Structure 1
Amino acid sequence: MKYPVLVAGMLLASSAHAAPIDAKTLVGASTPLQVAQYGVRNYSPPVLVGGLHDPASYAAAPKLPAWQFAAADPTGGVLTFERNPAPATGWHAQSRKGAVLVTGGGSAIANRIYTVYNGQQLVAAINQAGNDPKIIRVIGHIDLRWSQNNTVFREYTSYSDQKYGGSIALPSNTTLVGINDAQGRPARITGTALLIGGELPLTTGGDPEADFKKWIADGKDGEDYPTWTRNVIVRNLVIDTPWDVNPEDADNAYADGLTVSRAQNIYLDHLTISDGDTPDSLATGTYDTRHDGALDVVRGSDYVTVSNSYFGKHHKTTLVGNGDSGRAWSDEGRLHVTFSGNWWDGATTRLPLNRFGQVHLFNNLITGSTSTKDTDVKFESGTDARYRSNMLLENQYYNIAGLKLDDFCGKAIKGKSFIGFRSSGHVFVSDKSGTNLVDGQCGYAQPGAANLWLPPYGYTLQSATATLTSVPANAGAGKLK
């Protein structure tokens, strides 16, 4: 079924007839560059930070992957999909100014096209190009714990060392893509967090919340507040969520696999994200939570699409909005996110969890088990509509062993404190219940007329049954066509 382009009720400009805006034109001179502090190791010892990150919690990663370093480009440097803009389907292609063409670094000139084989080369390319349109092609295995052309390995030594030395910040107008190596393996990032944007004050030493609120109180447009990172494409990468060597406390780790924070017009496609070789079950003692999110969209970010991606073996998997009423100043009316064609497979919670966001999920596949004894992949909860969220779920396929049909609503699809929730067209399969079509609201009341909305972009809606075949064939790194 092909849906027409419609205008949502979130003060969006009409885009039915106007040519889309190239997202790179939305990147102004004041767009922040916060890359210099990241990717540089400090090897500091573990210390308490604000009463958190107890040095006694320090533990190096208990297992390392089989490295797949590369030193040559099997394509000979010939570009194929790297210059392609993002498609028009998804929230990433919208803005309050009208429809947007997310180009990333597609218009990069020759000296802004990079092929990198290690973490230091990746950081150097970002620092050299800044906000210029840039294409960065990753081949092999990236891990910032390795240095000197992947010949010297040293584990992170503290929270501070990992936070800064173990993170890579992507600035505006970036296309970051993995290129399959000579053995056909997709590029892989381990032990390294990817950051897109950050919540920043207007000036050094300022307060992000106070500065933004004053900006609005002065009658200025929040879209012009000069701390947005915009126009980023990330595709075809395996991302192993980092093992936190020095977590906040017994229940909370720090680093995500990929964090979108105060960023707009972001397209994330054909990613594979999981705990890789270091699931939480390898943690011992009091500090047994060693991972935070797999992919989080937070802190006022807006117009983001996550498509054709695979999420597995992870707790706290996908998060939209990281707080309740205390985040209204940044998140109210933002966090427009699309999830389509994704496969959550053995991911245990947050598929996704949503606060404040106007989120559209369609044709995703969710597989797992509530009866397995493997805590790394045991299904605990799926889509979770939380505080002031407004969600539309269409034609999802759920295959969850051990889950009874009577428990489907409230376990795989649940919510509280949302302002809108619509859910229909799903198929649920379980060894406990057989095959059942679950249609309607999963027990949740229809939202009021003011909160009804339709996506402002055209999209082709498959049946849930078709999703069972199409998603495994297409989702994840290495399958980009």
Structure 2
Amino acid sequence: MSRTLIALLATAAALPAAAEAPVSDALKALAAMPAPLGWATEEGGTTGGGTAAPVVVTSRAELVAALGGQNLENAANADPAVIVIAGRIDLTADDAGRPQGAADFADTDYDEAAYIATYDPESYGRDREPEGPLEEARERSEQAQKAHGMIRVGSNKTLIGLPGATLAGGTLLLKGVENVIIRNIAFEDSWDFFPQWDATDGSQGNWNAEYDLIAIEDGTTHVWIDHAAFSDGARPDDAIPPVFGRVHQHHDGLIDIKNGASYVTITASHFFDHDKTHIIGSSDSRTEDLGRLKVTLAGNWYDNVRQRLPRVRFGEVHVFGNLFTPSAEGPYAFDYALGAGKQSRLLSEANAFVLPEGIDPAQIVKSYKGEMIEDRGSLVNGAPADLVALYNAANPEKPLRATVDWDPPYAYELPDPAELAGRLPGEAGPTLLGDD
């Protein structure tokens, strides 16, 4: 990008909030670029807000207004829009810009200490989910937070960030919409103030949070996310004490794609310091997702993230040219990267894994009732590795077939995986604003 364009963008950041005049022709061209590769280019491609006049926003209230004005109804607004994010926007903030917390959303009958005491598995039991007045009050509290902090994005929208643009404390919800571009923005800390305890979740029970940083669902199609960053921010789940011996989890996914969503590409983004990263396909019972959930993940950096990189059900998912740098210890100690779920068809190509001592390369692939996964040209610590063969050798009782029954229909160029560890840390994330 030229120095002239950088200067134009800096000027744009100083414009009045929600300005209707174009930021610049150059910014419009940048914001409306078609997706360069992957599933988002198929079936008509992804153009976002196109050449709509950019609007600069600096607060949650301005963002909601630019998206249509009434948050709960904004998904119905399909008018093309290019929305330029300037600065840090707290999605918990009220219309006056005041950040809000649990007390602002809590139902009058909800009390966290009472909730913990009531559903302690030592007294309540481990064979049933929470029910009763306190769980109902928790659900009402959750709905109040969701109505405010889950920002609905309609069809034909581009959200693009100026340098330093951040959306914090909430979720972008793409539900039943199409043609959305999101670029050059940092997303962090979609904190659930009211997580649910479920003693029946796993052998020891788990706390479950509600909110992703971006949720793509219910038939949404044609989404391109590029040069973005995703993390728990300054509030990781281990920052507070465990409860019932389990992490008191307040974050869910980073980007989840489910319930018939399709034609999604995520490129050149940085995912870091988090547990559950991507779920693609929400349930083994949703056989209607067959033929949907077409997703490309390319050129991303997965750094100190624990699992779901991605975990896939049903979808034709293409994962290529990504860098994985997990940790063996700490709150995000590595579990697995590529999860083969029910009837999934995950194709991995030219990915690079840099594993510290203590992580077995056989952990990279994990089966969740999957039957197949294909890997071509991956490197582990600089050496060629057959990820499926490593998994099968460690799991002879449930081997995976090493081929999938599809090929990407779009053109793409594979990178040299030996170069990814040196290149992607400087390229992935909100780094669009540099010289040509």
Match of 2:168 among 168, 183, 190: 190
Structure of greater relative contact order (alpha carbons < 8 Å, 6+ residues apart): 1
Q: In 1, Cα distance between the equivalents of 2:65 and 2:431?
A: 25
Equivalent AA in structure 2 for residue 84 of structure 1: A
Structure 2 match to 1:51: none
Q: In 2, Cα distance between the equivalents of 1:87 and 1:291?
A: 29
Q: In 2, Cα distance between the equivalents of 1:71 and 1:164?
A: 34
Match of 1:123 among 34, 40, 64: 64
Equivalent AA in structure 1 for residue 367 of structure 2: G
Q: Deviations over 1:64-112 (max 9, x none)?
A: xxxxxx99715893242544332341011113xxxx231100131x3xx
Aligned pairs for 1:27-42 within 5 A: none
Match of 1:243 among 175, 191, 198: 191
Distance 1:105 1:323, change over 3 A: same
The answer (yes or no) to whether the contact 1:359–1:391 under 8 Å persists in 2 is yes
2:355 is paired with a residue whose SS is strand
Distance 1:403 1:171, change over 3 A: same
Equivalent AA in structure 1 for residue 215 of structure 2: T
The answer (yes or no) to whether the contact 1:71–1:117 under 8 Å persists in 2 is no
The answer (yes or no) to whether the contact 2:213–2:253 under 8 Å persists in 1 is yes
How far residue 447 of structure 1 moved from its aligned partner, in angstroms, is 5.7
Structure 1 match to 2:253: 293
Distance 1:391 1:170, change over 3 A: same
How far residue 419 of structure 1 moved from its aligned partner, in angstroms, is 4.1
Q: In 1, Cα distance between the equivalents of 2:290 and 2:249?
A: 30
Match of 1:232 among 164, 176, 180: 180
Q: Report the TM-score when normalising by structure 2.
A: 0.76
The answer (yes or no) to whether the contact 1:369–1:402 under 8 Å persists in 2 is no
Structure 1 match to 2:351: 396
Match of 1:426 among 375, 378, 382: 378
Q: Deviations over 1:16-35 (max 9, x none)?
A: xxxxxxxxxxxxxxxxxxxx
Structure 1 match to 2:233: 276
1:385 aligned onto 2:340: yes
Stretches of structure 2 lacking an aligned partner (at least 5 in a row): 1-9, 17-22, 106-140, 198-205, 393-398
How far residue 148 of structure 1 moved from its aligned partner, in angstroms, is 4.7
Equivalent AA in structure 1 for residue 210 of structure 2: Y
Q: In 2, Cα distance between the equivalents of 1:131 and 1:328?
A: 29
How far residue 241 of structure 1 moved from its aligned partner, in angstroms, is 3.1
Structure 1 match to 2:309: 351
Q: Deviations over 1:206-231 (max 9, x none)?
A: xxxxxxxxxxxxxxxxxxxxxx3110
The answer (yes or no) to whether the contact 1:261–1:297 under 8 Å persists in 2 is yes
Q: In 2, Cα distance between the equivalents of 1:413 and 1:265?
A: 28
Equivalent AA in structure 1 for residue 278 of structure 2: T
Structure 2 match to 1:139: 86
Q: Deviations over 1:112-133 (max 9, x none)?
A: x310000000001111582111
Structure 2 match to 1:322: 282
Q: Deviations over 1:305-324 (max 9, x none)?
A: 11101001111111111111
Percent identity of the aligned residues? 32
1:154 aligned onto 2:100: yes
Q: In 2, Cα distance between the equivalents of 1:428 and 1:75?
A: 48
Structure 2 match to 1:67: none
Q: Deviations over 1:416-469 (max 9, x none)?
A: 43243111211112xxxxx43103633355467xx5211011111012102222
Aligned residues: 354
The answer (yes or no) to whether the contact 1:193–1:241 under 8 Å persists in 2 is no
The answer (yes or no) to whether the contact 1:317–1:347 under 8 Å persists in 2 is yes
The answer (yes or no) to whether the contact 1:419–1:447 under 8 Å persists in 2 is no
The answer (yes or no) to whether the contact 2:35–2:224 under 8 Å persists in 1 is no
Q: In 1, Cα distance between the equivalents of 2:170 and 2:342?
A: 31
2:13 is paired with a residue whose SS is coil
2:143 is paired with a residue whose SS is helix
Q: In 2, Cα distance between the equivalents of 1:288 and 1:318?
A: 20
How far residue 384 of structure 1 moved from its aligned partner, in angstroms, is 0.9
1:460 is paired with a residue whose SS is coil
1:471 is paired with a residue whose SS is helix
Q: In 2, Cα distance between the equivalents of 1:337 and 1:412?
A: 19
How far residue 192 of structure 1 moved from its aligned partner, in angstroms, is 1.2
Match of 2:33 among 85, 97, 102: 85
The answer (yes or no) to whether the contact 1:116–1:122 under 8 Å persists in 2 is yes
Q: Report the TM-score when normalising by structure 1.
A: 0.70
Q: In 2, Cα distance between the equivalents of 1:247 and 1:107?
A: 41
1:361 is paired with a residue whose SS is strand
Is 135-144 or 71-80 further displaced after alignment?
71-80
Q: In 2, Cα distance between the equivalents of 1:463 and 1:478?
A: 21
How far residue 395 of structure 1 moved from its aligned partner, in angstroms, is 0.9
Match of 1:73 among 9, 13, 35: 13
Structure 1 match to 2:5: none
Structure 2 match to 1:63: none
Equivalent AA in structure 2 for residue 328 of structure 1: T
